[in-house]
Structure 1
Amino acid sequence: MFKISLISYLLLLFTFLYVETKLSGELREIYRFHKKVRKDVKNCKIPGQPPAVKLAKMKWNKLLADKAKQQAKRCQYDSNDPNDFIIGDFESIGQNLGDYPTIERAMKDWLEEHKNYDFKTNTCNGDCKNYKQVCFNY
C-alpha cells in the first residue's frame, strides 16, 4: 500500500486561490477539499459549528509551497526550529501531518475532528488541531 506523508502548510494558512496555477492532482484535491470545507463552515453545514463570519481570502503562495516541498523531501515532519515557522510576510505558519494511504483519507479525518471542537470555548475534547487549522487558521 502506497503511503503518503502529507505536510500541509498550504491547508493551514489559507493560501490557496486557484489562479491559473498548474496544480498537481494531489494539490488540486487538497485545494478542492479546503474550498469545500470553508464553504461548509461559512454556510453552517458542519454540525455543532457556527457559520463563519469572515474567512481570510486564500491565495497561492509559492514560497510556502517550496518550503513544504523541501521539508517533505527531507522527511522533516516536526521541526523544533522556529525559523521553519516564519516565512515571508507570515507572522507564523503551522502544519498538519498525516501518514495515510491517501490524501483524501487524511483530509476526511481532519474534518471529522470538528466533533471534538467546542467553538464557544475554543477547546478540544480530544484532537481537533488539524480541523482548527484547516477552518480557522489556528
Structure 2
Amino acid sequence: MKITFFFAALFLLDFFACCHAYLQYPLPDIEDAKFIEDCVRAHNTFRSKVNPPASNMFRMSWDAALAKTAKAWAKKCKFKHNNYLKVPGKVHPTFTPVGENIWTGTATIFSVDAALSDWFNEVSSYDFNTNRCTGMCGHYTQVVWAESYKVGCAVHFCNKVENFPGLIKAAHFVCDYGPAGNYPRKPYEAGRPCSRCSNEKCIDKLCDIPPAEHPRPSCDQYCLSVLILRPLVLVLSAGAVLLIQQGFPHTFFYE
C-alpha cells in the first residue's frame, strides 16, 4: 500500500511539474496555424536569399507526416538525429531517407526565426564554389537543398537534453525534410532564379510546385483490379459464347 501511494505521489509530482513547465514556457504544437506558417515562411525566405542565386530551388510547403515524426523525436529530448531516417516507411510513407535539422536552446528565447537564422548563418562556413565547409554547415545546406520541397517541424520543452550538457529548461526544435538533402554535391544549381523550373510558377525566386506535386490522375487498388480483370472477363465471356454456339448451334443470344 505504501509503495502504491509512493508511485502515485511521484506520478502527480511529475505531472504537475510538466504542467507548470508548459505554462511557464508555452511552446506551439504542430497543428498551430501560426507555427506552421512561421516554419514554412522562414524556410522559403532563406531559400530565396541564397548567394549565388539558385536556378532550381523549390518552394517548400508543410507536410503533416514529417511534422508528426519531428514531434515524436523532439519529445525524446536527445541532441542527436532520429535513428530511423534511412529506414523505408519508418518515418514517412513516401520519403526515404528523410533529412533532419535540430536546434536546442533556452526555452525563453526560442522562436522559429531565431532557429532558422542560426542554421542559415552557417553559410559563413560554406564555400559554394568548392562545396566545402570550414566548420559546421550541414544545417545550412539542408535548409537550402533545392529538391527538398516538404518540411515538417516540432518544438518540445525539455528539462534537460541528452548530449547537450549544461542546458536546462530547453526548447528542442526539430525539422524534417523530404526528399532529404546533404548528398555529396552542391545543394542547388546556380543561375537566374527559376530558370530551371519546368512548368512551375516562380514565386519569390522559388519554383512553386515540383513535378511530383502536380495533380495527375490516380488509380487505387480497386481501380487497378478493375482494369486488369475487365479484359480477362470479356475474353472468358467471348470464349464461353463460342463454346456454347459450337456445342449448341441452334442456341441464340439476345441483348
TM-score, normalised on structure 2? 0.39
Report 1 or 2 for greater relative contact order, CA contacts < 8 Å, sequence distance ≥ 6.
Answer: 1
Q: 2-side partners of 1:56 and 1:75: how far apart? A: 31
> C-alpha displacement at 1:57, in angstroms?
4.3
- Aligned identity (percent) is 31
Residue 42 of structure 2 is matched in structure 1 by: 33
Which structure features the higher share of strand residues? 2
User: Which residue, 97, 102, 127 being the options, matches 2:110?
Assistant: 102
SS in 1 for 2:61: coil
SS in 1 for 2:100: coil
Could you tell me which amino acid in structure 2 is paired with residue 130 of structure 1? H
Residue 120 of structure 1 is matched in structure 2 by: 129
Retained in 2: the 8 A contact 1:3–1:99? no
> C-alpha displacement at 1:110, in angstroms?
1.1
Larger radius of gyration: 2
Q: 2-side partners of 1:114 and 1:79: how far apart? A: 21
User: Which residue, 94, 97, 101 being the options, matches 1:92?
Assistant: 97
Retained in 1: the 8 A contact 2:44–2:59? no
Listed as ranges, the gaps of 5+ residues in structure 2 are 1-23, 146-180, 183-255
Say what the alpha-carbon RMSD is for the aligned residues.
2.5
> C-alpha displacement at 1:132, in angstroms?
0.5
Q: 2-side partners of 1:72 and 1:58: how far apart? A: 21
Tell me if 1:62 matches 2:54.
no
Q: 2-side partners of 1:60 and 1:25: how far apart? A: 12
SS in 2 for 1:34: helix
Runs of 4+ with >3 A deviation: 1-4
Retained in 2: the 8 A contact 1:111–1:131? yes
Q: 1:40-79 residue pairs with structure 2 within 5 A?
A: 40-41=49-50, 49-79=51-81
Matched residues, number: 113
Q: 1-side partners of 2:85 and 2:96: how far apart? A: 12
Retained in 2: the 8 A contact 1:3–1:102? no
